[in-house]
Amino acid sequence: MPTSLFCAHLFQVVIPVLANEKNHLNWPHVVCQDVRRHAHSLQCDLLVILEQAKGKTLLPLPVDSEKVEFVDSESETILESTDKSVIYAIESAVIQWSRQVQVVLKRESSQPLQQGENPTPEVELEFWKNRSEDLEYIYNQLRTIKVKGIAGLLDKLQSSYFPAFQAMFRDVVAALTEAQDIHAHLVPLQRHLETLESLEFPEVKPRLQPLLHVVCLIWATCESYRCPGRLTVLLQEICNLLVQQASRYLSPEDLLRSEVEESQRKLQVVVDTLKFFKQVFQDRRENLQSYFKENQEVREWDFQSSLVFMRLDGFLGRLHMVQVSVLTHIRALALRRSEKSRDPDRIRKGLRQHGGQPSTDWKNT
């Protein structure tokens, strides 16, 4: 059964049956409570999974959390009468939320690269957009939890889980602010990337300088992004995009179909463009100070460019090999043509001049 159907079945049939108190009229109270708790927990797990599929982190509320809702901050009697099981449920929930939030906070945009995929910069933009949205979703849930007085109850009970909740809230706010800031700074790249993807490769070259110009601006203006680990991810992805576009332009079928001279010309366009990109990178790197304000400390690109260009250099190396074999092919073709066009009389004359011995000289001309 597909997951969605299975979930629908659980929601429509199993959970209502379990949760409906009328179904356990004859059961002992403890059993009823237990069944109800399990039904609730099952429902929460399912909701978490369903939201996860949409890229959202749902923090499930503890069972009986509605009982907490109207805890009067001044009233001590309510605290004393608060059911131990409710407190236990809230504390368990805080542990679960912390785990869920940690998973989100630990996510890195470099993951696809590290897994050996070849993501393009769009993945970086999407990562920060997704992260902002998910963290905002989490933030709103934590605020609701605060508003409902669930966190406040832990505070009044001097539960050791209250500081944990506070810390989690602070971390989420910090990460949300950072993700929103980075996403806002990355957005101007979008237009450049779309243009680059829509162009035929021979038109890409004049777009490279403006693209890296924006990258430098991001470096100088977005403090959260001003870290080699982050920038090298973006630069590697830009290289991936260039390799992708170059490969499309040089598609093997086209290369085989077209004239060798045409193939050679296309290869040269790609090699020139990619080498030019490396030059522009070097040039921008040496002029980073021009992007910083006068009173601002200039942060250089103190990372190895070989890391950024690893894949691009590998690609250039392979192109070079293809170029060599294309050249060999062109020479062989030229030779065959010249053989055909050679006057048979002259060959005979040549043979005579060399005393009847066939000369191999002309093959090398």
Out of 64, 126, 197, 313, name the contact with ligand NAG by CB under 6 A: 126
What is the sign, positive or negative, of the torsion defined by CA atoms of 62, 66, 69, 72? Answer: negative
Judged by CB under 6 A, which stretch of 88-96, 124-132, 166-174, 268-276 contacts ligand NAG? 124-132
Q: Is 55 in the site for ligand NAG (CB under 6 A)?
A: yes
Judged by CB under 6 A, which stretch of 1-9, 20-28, 119-127, 214-222 contacts ligand NAG? 119-127
Q: Is 127 in the site for ligand NAG (CB under 6 A)?
A: yes
> What residues numbered 25-54 form the site for ligand NAG, per CB under 6 A?
54
Q: Is 130 in the site for ligand NAG (CB under 6 A)?
A: yes
CB of 140 to ligand NAG, least distance (A): 18
Q: Is 313 in the site for ligand NAG (CB under 6 A)?
A: no
Q: Is 275 in the site for ligand NAG (CB under 6 A)?
A: no
CB of 122 to ligand NAG, least distance (A): 8
Strands (E), 112-228: none
Pick the closer one to ligand NAG by CB: 64 or 126: 126
CB of 115 to ligand NAG, least distance (A): 12
Distance CA 230, CA 222 (A): 11
Q: Are 96 and 165 in contact (CB under 8 A)?
A: no
Q: Is 202 in the site for ligand NAG (CB under 6 A)?
A: no
Smallest CA-to-CA distance from 204 within 280, 264, 291 is with 280
- How big is the site for ligand NAG, counted in residues (CB under 6 A)? 6
- Coil, helix or strand for 148? coil
CB of 127 to ligand NAG, least distance (A): 4
Q: Where are the alpha helices (DSSP H) in the chain?
A: 3-9, 15-19, 29-53, 76-81, 84-106, 111-114, 121-147, 150-156, 161-198, 205-221, 228-249, 252-257, 260-286, 305-308, 310-341, 344-353
Distance CA 285, CA 273 (A): 18
Taking only Cα atoms into account, the Rg of the chain, rounded to an integer number of angstroms, comes to: 33
Q: Is 190 in the site for ligand NAG (CB under 6 A)?
A: no
Place of tokens 């963290």: 135
Q: Are 212 and 284 in contact (CB under 8 A)?
A: yes
Pick the closer one to ligand NAG by CB: 130 or 209: 130
Max CA separation in the chain (angstroms):
124
Pick the closer one to ligand NAG by CB: 123 or 271: 123
Pick the closer one to ligand NAG by CB: 16 or 55: 55
Q: Are 90 and 65 in contact (CB under 8 A)?
A: yes
- CB neighbours of residue 183 within 10 Å: 19
Q: Is 305 in the site for ligand NAG (CB under 6 A)?
A: no
Pick the closer one to ligand NAG by CB: 232 or 263: 232
Out of 123, 255, 260, 280, name the contact with ligand NAG by CB under 6 A: 123
Smallest CA-to-CA distance from 207 within 241, 255, 250 is with 241
Which residues here bind ligand NAG, judged by CB under 6 A?
54-55, 123, 126-127, 130
